[in-house]
Amino acid sequence: MANWSRFSKSLWLTLAAGLLSTASASPPTVTLKASAAERSSTVFVGRSLSEFDQDVFLGIKYADQPVRFTPSDLKTSYNASDSDSGLYDPSLSGLDSSDSVYYNATQYGYDCPGYGSDEDSLIDKGLVRVNENCLNLNIIRPNVQSESNGAQGDELLPVMIWILGGGWQQGATADPRYNMSYIVQQGALNDKPVMGVSINYRLAAFGFLDSEEVRASGNGNLALRDQRNAMRWVKQNIKAFGGDPEKITIWGESAGAYSVGAHLVTNGGDNEGLFRAAIMESGNAVGPPYNGTEWHQPMYDQIVNLTGCFNSTDTLQCLREVPYESLYKVAYQGSEWFATIDGTFIKEYPQISYSEGKIAKVPILLGANTDEGTSFGTTGTDTDEECIEQLISSKRWVLTREQATKLLTYYPNNPALGCPYGWGNVTWPKLGLMYKRYESMAGDITMVAPRRLLAKTMGKYEKEVYSYRWDVAALNSSSTIGVGHFAEIPFVFANPVQDITPLGSDPARLELGKMAAQMWTSFVTDLDPNGHGVSNIPRWPKYTEDPTNFVFRLPMNESYVEDDTFRATGIEYINSIQR
């Protein structure tokens, strides 16, 4: 793991992606008043980013470190030592510390332990540090005193809460690709200022451990429950930072979008008033692999054996007591941990929740990328039988042989119809004689069919439903064919500097990024993405009984609106399967 000095040196590479920033002589502060049971108020001390005309408050704990494999509890009081950034000396800024706790919110806190190449790379570069005590959030706000930011005095700002993706196995708010300063800046430049919040939550086995033992103790889906607590913290406290608790939009991509979807269906659709709208990029409640204990129990048992807990009468308690380093080494053995139907947080397959109207009925903006299947399919399928074997054994969906066989009838082995789309009869035989056929099914199962299902379902209850298809490839996609998963992220965050998944320097790409960011922030402020102020762009229509998608193209003036009726029979069949 990265040490403290390495992390400190790299912080502004993450925050401002290479731009220098100088802390103000009088740093921005926000005070949470003491409750009747507390003696001291809490003063969060942040930093000012002059180049963005913003204030940031980083690494704020929304929950103390929970006992491992138990739910987190909402944090309501603070000590100065709670900050991961060290103690803050208020006398340096001439602040009075007589009756307040000063919380150092000038740097990112710990990110949560996970598994994957992204996680390893970020740690190696010194951009993140990880620890189990990682339930924190970051707040990015335009300078409310600046007229250039569109702020109107004491006007409260709409809030967008970012829930990061990473397959539920990895991810960090300190990842430069998730630097919210640029999208917040675009909102302000468009006279639609918003406040950004990004949250960390437990990952992989630490957040999604599942087994008969876990279910019997009521400790499932801990990561989703972490996210819910982060939302509660924002709802209760964001007004002190200048945010509007009645205008919160939750927003995620991939596993983050899966998570947003889960929050739509949990609690029978009662969202506790925690958010008024949702944005889902490449994912929603239907689509994640809600595998049962038949999938997770062998993984759990293997961890128990490898940690020496197999003789314990309470294996879950034994795992809680295993030293972190020992547990981390064995908690991932090549198979992934996912959310589950635990009977509490997620009571049933979300497709059932959709059909019964047990869903939070809120405005939504959602979409998928053109060639999602290239990220979720497989290679080496040459025959019908090999396609069927893959379809019935995938970790990401569960189909019976009968269902898989029927699905093939809707997806003929015609290269002109397969994924990647738009390549005509071009094939890649080394990837499999049925590569394009299988990738088409995989993309529709995981992303496209669920997107259409939720858009149609929410459209029954809400007028403000907007659907898109992203059709612009990522810049560094030499090893990827088509417009794959994650391709839209550099554009939506509008960050021209980070070089992990770069946006690039092409003016056309930069302009598309600005427009996308302004569409997202327009939706957060007005529940309508059309307030972007860009001319020569078709109006993004609402999703109705005549369903349409806004298609993002490069250059942006080639974007258009399409009928959302492609692959109708196959997608309709997929959406008939309970999952």
Q: Which two tokens stand for residue 204?
A: 């992989």
Q: Identify the three-state secondary structure at position 215.
A: helix
First to last CA, the chain: 38
446 SS3 class: helix
Distance CA 388, CA 411 (A): 12
| Whether 236 contacts 201, CB under 8 Å | no
User: Half-sphere exposure of residue 395, counting CA atoms within 13 Å on the CB side?
Assistant: 12
How many angstroms separate the CA atoms of 289 and 446, rounded? 9
Q: What are phi and psi of 334, to 5 degrees?
A: 100, -10
List the beta strands (DSSP E) in 326-390. 364-369
Amino acid 9: pLDDT: 37
Residue 525: predicted pLDDT: 99
Give the model's pLDDT for residue 395.
84
Q: Examine residue 555 and say whether the peptide bond preceding it is cis (omega within 30 degrees of 0).
A: yes
- Contacts by 70-79 with C-beta closer than 8 Å and gap 24+? 70/219, 70/222, 70/320, 71/219, 71/222, 71/225, 72/135, 72/222, 72/225, 72/226, 72/229, 73/229, 74/229, 74/232, 74/233, 75/233, 76/35, 77/35, 77/38, 77/42, 78/32, 78/42, 78/103
Distance CA 150, CA 187 (A): 9
Contact 369, 470 (CB under 8 A): yes
Supply the Cα-derived Rg of the chain in whole angstroms.
23
235, 249 contact by CB (below 8 A): no
> What confidence tier does 13 reach under pLDDT thresholds 50, 70, 90?
very low
Based on DSSP, count helices (H) and strands (E) in the chain, helices before strands. Answer: 19, 14
| DSSP β-bridge partners for residue 243 | 157
The pLDDT value recorded for residue 146 is 58
With contact defined as beta carbons under 8 Å apart, do 260 and 163 qualify? yes
What b/e sequence results for 495-513 when a residue is b if at least 16 CB atoms lie within 10 Å of its CB, and e otherwise? bbebebbbbbeeeebebbb
Closest CA to 509 of 550, 560, 467, 474: 474
What average pLDDT does the segment 320-332 reach?
98
Range of lowest pLDDT (38-47, 122-131, 269-278, 530-539): 38-47
Environment class of 28 (CB within 10 Å of its CB; exposed 0-12, middle 13-18, buried 19+) = buried
In this prediction, residue 21 has a pLDDT band, given cuts at 50, 70 and 90, of very low
3-state DSSP call for residue 363?
A: coil
Q: Assign 35 a pLDDT band (cuts: 50, 70, 90).
A: confident
Looking at 171-221, list the stretches that DSSP marks H as alpha helix, in order from N- to C-terminal side: 181-189, 204-208, 212-216
The pLDDT of residue 501 is above 60: yes
Q: How far apart are CA 252 and CA 305, in angstroms?
A: 36
Torsion sign across C-alpha atoms 116, 120, 126, 130: positive
Q: What is the mean pLDDT of residues 4-33?
A: 54
pLDDT tens column, 91-148: 887 777 678 999 999 999 999 999 999 999 999 999 999 999 999 999 999 996 655 5
Amino acid at 511: E
Closest CA to 209 of 295, 312, 286, 268: 295
pLDDT at 38: 73
Note the pLDDT of residue 25.
Answer: 65
The residues that are catalytic are 254
- Write b or e for each residue in 312-346: b if 16 or more Cβ atoms lie within 10 A of its Cβ, otherwise e: eeebbebbeebeeeebbeebbeeebbbbbbbeebb
Query: In this structure, are residues 327 and 319 in contact, taking their beta carbons and an 8 Å threshold?
Result: yes
pLDDT in tens, 439-490: 999 999 999 999 999 999 999 999 999 999 999 999 865 667 899 999 999 9
Q: Are 87 and 177 in contact (CB under 8 A)?
A: no
Chain centroid, CA 41 distance in Å: 32
Domains of the chain with bracketed CATH: 4-253+292-337 (3.40.50.1820), 355-574 (3.40.50.1820)
Tell me if residue 56 falls in helix, strand or coil: strand
Q: Strand runs (DSSP E) across 46-129, as ranges? A: 47-49, 54-61, 100-104
Report the percent of the chain where pLDDT is more than 70. 93
Token reading at 522: 């327009």
pLDDT digits (tens, 9 = 90+) for 339-362: 999 999 999 999 999 999 999 999
Do the bridges between strand 548-552 and strand 465-470 make them parallel or antiparallel, or are there none, so unpaired?
parallel
Mean local confidence (pLDDT), 14-27: 48
SS3 annotation, 142-167: ECCCCHHHCCCCCCCEEEEEEECCCC
Which of these, 469, 467, 272, 448, lies nearest to 373 by C-alpha position?
448
**Res. 22: pLDDT tops 50:** no
pTM here is 0.95
